[in-house]
Amino acid sequence: MGTQGTDIRDTPEEWRVTATETPFRGNKTSVRADDVVMPDGSVARRDYQVHPGSVAVLALDDRDRVLVLRQYRHPVRQKLWEIPAGLLDVPGENPLHAAQRELYEEAHVKAEDWRVLTDVYTTPGGCDEAVRIFLARELSDAEGERFEVSEEEADMELARVPVDDLVRRVLAGELHNNCLVVGVLALTAARAAADGPDGLRPADAPWPARPF
């Protein structure tokens, strides 16, 4: 099947819901159950996690190293190497401001140059989480006291790893965090494009999945 003449982009659509309920409400997320009308007229129940959305930051220093952190993730029972990331805790919050906050809180670093690297849905078959991944460059240490961390973040390790090393480890199956994997591969693709990373969308580009 060819794609000639087909507009290859995701588009908004919403199938009719005949009933909905929320069997679980957590501190940050909840679980929703919808009865959805299928194209053949049948009705199917779809259970999914309702998520506020997230931001992540691929912070690249002047030695072509990415700032990564290692954190315990209980659902998968592993310590994962990740890039700084966090929830959009405030409805309608500007995602750039949230990303700058996360970079400061998790790494005590600031950046002068910000671009949108890519936007993704992490698990659209079972969760409505949308993530905006930023590319941050021209890094420097943040001023003031370090943010006081707690819980899993109290055991967090920080490192700076060359981009090529991260790509190799991703392809070898040694790194699994969604934002890190997508981020380093997207950066590699952006570098191969005609305009390079400077051709990426501006940091305040519209984000229909999480308007701000």
CB contact at 8 A, 176 and 182:
no
Q: Are strands 30-37 and 17-25 parallel, antiparallel or unpaired?
A: antiparallel
- 201 burial (CB, 10 Å; 0-12 / 13-18 / 19+) is middle
The half-sphere exposure of 45 on its side-chain side, counting CA atoms within 13 A, is 8
Task: Let me know if 153 is a catalytic residue.
Answer: yes
Contact predicate 77/52, CB 8 Å: no
CA 129 to mean position of chain CA atoms? 9
106, 145, 153, 157: the catalytic one is 153
In 44-174, where does DSSP find H-type helix? 95-107, 163-171
Please list the active-site residues: 153
